[in-house]
Structure 1
């Protein structure tokens, strides 16, 4: 249990939908738990629908994507306090987003809250249709972080992460880290330059890991406006171990080794397990945004 029970959950920037509204599977993506649906066309002023594979349903038309014939989603009225966040995984996602907003509002001038979308099975986004298979992701086209909470169990069962709450909260904070990059105007760098273990896609993902560490540094000392309580209780060594376990479980090398028995750094998009742990720890220990400049780092600590 990590959230202070007196913390009040704000669901005003969150929406929820069930399955059935997503259409075809995306042909683009970058692996589990990161910048999964950034379409080059978004940065070139091109309609993303023109670059989607045949069978897709095109970009979402609503502010947060067209829900189409989606079944009813999670009842957000169940999320009221930190106690609900400690008990209900969907509420934990929303509350974590609240805490990340609280931290970055103080750290980054001009920070604006992203939208959060809880979905099941499939969803429409301004970056095109997506399914649960891609894992959590952030779409800059509609400034929305998307989560199917079934991923958290998959993180344990398939990727070997611990199941602690901070493992889940790390994932949320990482996706919000991409929103921070969007606010900073740097998220497009993921699509520039060479690929591979030293490429900008990896550097973008590792910076988001570092930003997740920044959140962990401040979340237990940042008070929520209106409640005068901190978002999180003081973090324990076990909490941090849970976050590091999640970071390691989605390293490119670990996923490749598990899937094929081989490791190919030239095809990496998110970074190694060791690098993901290093950059989360760097943010957590320092609390200094300037220490998260992965783009200038000569050593990514592979």
Structure 2
């Protein structure tokens, strides 16, 4: 995907790479919007049942930890975005997402706030508590931050089988941005309330959230279809298939258990991304979550 040049001063960037945090960052794990909990099971050998259960408990509790807001590791935004290819690409994607979604919110008469992109390496600190590479990229609604250890992209391409294409990586950022959209319209709080009232429906509600975020990622691409390169659609489909719950469970040598899904099957994630890309219409994503 051919992203336009951007001014680093127009986006919100925080850089925690090279910084140390007392107690290793301590605190709670990111707030229920991780790319997928089972990534750690595949890459790091973590028991996915325990990890998913722990994350779901974390999502329901606690005030945000100290975020260290304003920490930049001594780098300017321009320097943070230039650390490596993945940093540059992620900043360019954030700028494009801001430019795409702000007028959509303005047209709808809803206040828009830019999220911040927070780079960290191995361990960091978020408004939701500790940030660790094993989590994968995640969105923290407490500080409206998208947290990213760029080494994840190598894992995505090599271990998870998404391939080396740039659109797979852009899809990750756009998906987390989708959670920011849900936060701005208040959907995330409604879902949390429903999950607390009906724990048995917690996973299915989370799946709807994740599929809608996939759809929003596709809408961003659809609204910028003039920048789409040949093969980008296929790269997106391959990435969505690689991080479906069923595929991750199979690759981890586990029996596929739809009741444990938190992000949706490969087929569902592909369908959601496809819907957004082909329609370029955010209202189409409402089908994944109709709140009363």
Q: Does residue 1:257 correspond to 2:247, yes or no?
A: no
| Structure 1 unmatched runs, 5+ | 49-58, 222-232, 298-302
1:277 and 1:96 map into 2 onto residues whose CA distance is 20
1:190 and 1:172 map into 2 onto residues whose CA distance is 22
2:115 and 2:15 map into 1 onto residues whose CA distance is 14
TM-score by length of 2: 0.79
1:126 and 1:25 map into 2 onto residues whose CA distance is 10
Indicate conservation of the 8 Å contact 2:30/2:128, yes or no: no
TM-score by length of 1: 0.76
Describe how 1:195-206 pairs up with structure 2 within 5 A: 199-206=204-211
Q: Does residue 1:62 correspond to 2:60, yes or no?
A: no
Aligned-pair distance for 1:198?
A: 7.1
Alignment-derived partner of residue 277 in structure 1: 270
2:34 and 2:146 map into 1 onto residues whose CA distance is 14
Task: Provide closer, same or farther for how the CA distance between residues 101 and 93 of structure 1 changes in structure 2, counting only shifts above 3 A.
Answer: same
Q: Does residue 1:107 correspond to 2:104, yes or no?
A: yes
Q: State the superposition RMSD in angstroms.
A: 3.0
Of the three residues 41, 56, 60, the one matched with 1:40 is 60
Alignment-derived partner of residue 167 in structure 2: 166
Indicate conservation of the 8 Å contact 1:122/1:132, yes or no: yes
Counterpart of 2:131 in 1: which secondary structure?
strand
How many residues are paired up?
A: 261
Alignment-derived partner of residue 213 in structure 2: 208
More displaced stretch, 244-253 vs 182-191 = 182-191
Aligned-pair distance for 1:30?
A: 5.7
| Structure 2 unmatched runs, 5+ | 38-54
Counterpart of 1:199 in 2: which secondary structure?
helix
1:262 and 1:154 map into 2 onto residues whose CA distance is 23
Indicate conservation of the 8 Å contact 2:28/2:130, yes or no: yes
Indicate conservation of the 8 Å contact 2:245/2:261, yes or no: yes
The structure where helix makes up a greater share of residues is 2
Aligned-pair distance for 1:188?
A: 2.5
| Cα displacement string for residues 20-75 of structure 1 (whole angstroms, at most 9, x for unaligned residues) | 3243485677696159797223xxxx425xxxxxxxxxx124336xx6xx9x4876
Aligned-pair distance for 1:104?
A: 0.5
Indicate conservation of the 8 Å contact 1:196/1:269, yes or no: no
Counterpart of 2:68 in 1: which secondary structure?
coil
2:263 and 2:74 map into 1 onto residues whose CA distance is 30
Q: Does residue 1:2 correspond to 2:8, yes or no?
A: no
Task: Provide closer, same or farther for how the CA distance between residues 178 and 274 of structure 1 changes in structure 2, counting only shifts above 3 A.
Answer: same
Alignment-derived partner of residue 180 in structure 1: 181
